[in-house]
Amino acid sequence: MPAATAVGVGLDSAAVRNRMVQKLAAGGITSPAVLQAMATVERHRFVDSGLVNQAYEDTSLPIGLGQTISKPSVVARMCELLLSAESARAGGGLARVLEIGTGCGYQAAVLGQLAREVYTIERLRGLHDKARDNLRPFRLANVHLMLGDGMLGYAKGAPYAAIIAAAGGDAVPQEWCDQLAVGGRLVAPMALTGGQQVLLVIDKTPHGLKQSVLEPVHFVPLKSGIA
């Protein structure tokens, strides 16, 4: 079946994607590398066939097992924050990145365009398998999928230039900070006291951790253990 028929997003999904990218730029995303990555990765290949027509809208969508693929604007925003890490600016790009919460694999594919190596960990076997299937046609040799509890990070790949969480908890696990390289940056949704979830940025400097609280966000909960 020709791809255009299979995807149902019109004859040219690149045109639809470019419109999405224009909206991201209008919304404040300035990094050419991030905009390029968002233009490259075919988000419609990561959602169920009934949802492909919404794949390029700025909305989160269900991916099964009660989880969601994040909105394009949030994916772009978080990736842009990672690229502004001290080590990424000094090194001309991102070295090794850890993603907590592979989900359908979309953000991992975007990160695969931006980083030298991407380690992504998912606690739900069904989604880990789905992400593997979704990512196979892209043949991204630098994206490594793991089944496991991302609350513990992934020590084997450490230290990371960046850690990005796609699920929100009440506190940043110590392991994440330990596994971050000096000059590296962590971006994660986190609940403040009172329950409001915000985007948190932690920079690991030679003098210690520096934390910034950014805008409110809505992510699925970070949970422990494998299921």
Residue range at the interface with ligand SAH (CB under 6 A); choices 6-14, 48-56, 81-89, 217-225 = 217-225
Mark 51-90 with x for binding to ligand SAH (rule: CB under 6 A) and - for no binding. ------------x---xxxx--------------------
Q: Any catalytic annotation for residue 84?
A: no
Max intra-chain CA distance, the chain: 57
Q: Given the rule CB under 6 A, which of 24-32, 34-42, 83-91, 98-106 is the region that contacts ligand SAH?
A: 98-106
Asked if 103 is part of the footprint of ligand SAH (rule: CB under 6 A), the reply reads yes
The DSSP result for the chain, as a single string, is --HHHHH-S-S-HHHHHHHHHHHHHHTT---HHHHHHHHHS-GGGGS-GGGGGGTTSSS-EEEETTEEEPPHHHHHHHHHHHHTSHHHHHHTSEEEEEEE--TTSHHHHHHHHHEEEEEEEES-HHHHHHHHHHHGGG--TTEEEEES-GGG--GGG-SEEEEEESSBBSS--HHHHHHEEEEEEEEEEEEPTTS-EEEEEEEEETTEEEEEEEEE---PBP--S--
Which of 72, 112, 150, 189 touches ligand SAH (CB under 6 A)? 150
We find the least distance from the C-beta atom of residue 196 to ligand SAH, in angstroms, to be 19
- d(CA 188, CA 177) in angstroms, rounded, equals 12
Active-site residue identified among 13, 31, 70, 87 = 70
Residue 72 C-beta: closest distance to ligand SAH, Å:
10
Q: Which is nearer to ligand SAH, 104 or 183 (CB)?
A: 104
Query: Would you say 95 or 127 has its CB closer to ligand SAH?
Result: 127
Nearest-approach distance from CB 148 to ligand SAH, in angstroms: 7
Candidates 10-18, 81-89, 95-103, 198-206; binding stretch for ligand SAH (CB under 6 A): 95-103
Is residue 56 within 8 Å of residue 10, measured between CB atoms?
A: no
Show which residues are catalytic: 70
Residues of the shown chain interacting with ligand SAH in the complex, contacts defined by CB under 6 A = 63, 67-70, 100-101, 103-104, 106-107, 121-124, 127, 149-151, 166-167, 220, 222-224
